[in-house]
């Protein structure tokens, strides 16, 4: 069962987490502004393919099963590329939540609603491992503490880069903020298009799914919930 606990460094090595994927994890945790610090602290790179090669073998078997020739020129490096891709797309399991926050929770006298919307994300449906993508809106009512503005998109990214269902991802983001900040309430709304709906089955491209999670006063107080929803209806100002 996936948890918020990151993999240890030994486990990362065993998984063949290469330098590229390490950089993705570190970018989610600490952001681009910490590049110089990361360079000083970064462990030695693990070369791609240092793990068991299980993903490469599985991809080769899939190619054979669907009637392809894994040895033809265009497919020779496909297993290797997919290994690297899957580690990157699921690196949210390896993000350390404490490193992500990095002390960026501040005591303030501010108690008005904070809303960030239009946060883009890409994730993978756990049922068919096809992408779903869209945008998230996150709001909370501070109880004397706020989190750094850049952290909320990274929290969304941490949960998006896992095998997911949209409903669970929405709840995880809300629960994370409620636990870490202890605000009066939290609201999260996600709207996404699912390629498992567009590409297979009923093939209804363009259909979107909307999920929400409301905690605390966002759930118990209609005025708070209505204020949050009214923020989502306003157009984003253009500079």
Say how many Å lie between the first and final Cα of the chain, rounded. 44
Catalytically active residues are 125-128, 166, 194, 196
Distance from C-alpha of 80 to C-alpha of 88, rounded to nearest angstrom:
13
Task: Report residue 79: phi and psi, to 5°.
Answer: -60, -40
Residues 6+ apart with CB under 8 A from 137: 115, 116, 117, 118, 119, 187, 188, 189, 190, 231, 232
CB-CB contact of 15 with 54 (8 Å): no
What percent of the residues of the chain are helix, what percent strand, and what percent coil, each to the nearest 5? 45, 20, 35
> In terms of Cα–Cα distance, which of 156, 224, 164 is closest to 196?
164
Q: Is residue 236 classed as helix, strand or coil in its secondary structure?
A: coil
The closest alpha carbon to 186, from 110, 104, 115, 109, belongs to 115
């Amino acid at each position: 069962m996936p948890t918020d606990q990151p993999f240890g460094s030994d486990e990362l090595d065993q998984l063949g987490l290469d330098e590229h994927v390490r950089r993705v994890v570190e970018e989610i945790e600490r952001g681009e502004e910490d590049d110089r610090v990361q360079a000083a602290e970064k462990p030695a790179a693990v070369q791609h393919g240092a793990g068991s090669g299980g993903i490469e073998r599985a991809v080769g078997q899939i190619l054979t099963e669907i009637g392809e020739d894994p040895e033809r020129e265009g497919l020779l490096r496909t297993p290797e590329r997919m290994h690297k891709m899957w580690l990157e797309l699921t690196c949210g399991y390896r993000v350390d939540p404490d490193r992500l926050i990095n002390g960026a929770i501040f005591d303030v006298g501010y108690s008005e609603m904070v809303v960030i919307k239009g946060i883009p994300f890409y994730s993978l449906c756990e049922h068919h491992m096809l992408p779903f993508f869209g945008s998230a809106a996150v709001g909370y009512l501070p109880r004397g503490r706020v989190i750094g503005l850049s952290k909320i998109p990274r929290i969304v990214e941490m949960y998006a880069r896992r095998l997911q269902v949209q409903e669970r991802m929405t709840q995880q983001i809300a629960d994370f903020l409620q636990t870490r900040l202890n605000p009066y309430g939290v609201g999260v709304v996600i709207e996404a298009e699912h390629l498992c709906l567009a590409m297979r089955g009923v093939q209804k491209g363009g259909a979107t799914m909307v999920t929400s999670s409301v905690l605390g006063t966002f759930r118990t107080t209609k005025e708070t919930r209505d204020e949050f929803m009214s923020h989502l209806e306003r157009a984003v100002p253009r500079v």
